[in-house]
Amino acid sequence: QVQLVESGGGLVQAGGSLRLSCAASGSIFSGSTMGWYRQAPGKQRELVAFISGSRSTNYADSVKGRFIISRDIPKSTVYLQMNSLKLEDTAVYYCAAARGSLFRSPRDYWGQGIQVTVSS
């Protein structure tokens, strides 16, 4: 019923930038909290950032100052602008959404994931 589709991943050199997009469709509240997680090989999934319907944001310490999360509510799309990329940013990135608008990490709906690879 609810689908999240990521796009914009790929290969980028260290120090470069990349922007991920996540388009939501189906029966989901337009102001629901949405965000991004990532999982590197052999590592646990970790929260990267999330954003509320009122555009309040939260970032993991590891990406603070480098990544920016934003959203276009009319287009039901959330973005992750990734700057100053490091090798350790290499991971599969997952879009996520919550059923409601509470300001907490979203975990109710998930995209299939998209690969981001940072090379030296």
Q: How far is CA 79 from CA 21, 50, 58, 103, 118, in A?
A: 5, 10, 14, 17, 18
* Number of Cβ atoms within 10 Å of the Cβ of 45: 14
Which pLDDT does position 120 carry in this prediction? 94
Give the whole-angstrom CA distance, residue 83 versus residue 55. 20
DSSP 66-109: TEEEEEETTTTEEEEEE-S--GGG-EEEEEEE-SS--SS---SE
What is the rounded distance in angstroms from the CA atom of residue 10 to the CA atom of residue 19? 10
Q: What is the pLDDT, as a whole number, of residue 30?
A: 87
CB 30 within 8 A of CB 73: yes
d(CA 94, CA 67): 15
Q: What is the mean pLDDT of the chain?
A: 96
Give per-residue pLDDT as tens, 79-111. Answer: 999 999 999 999 999 999 999 988 999 999 999
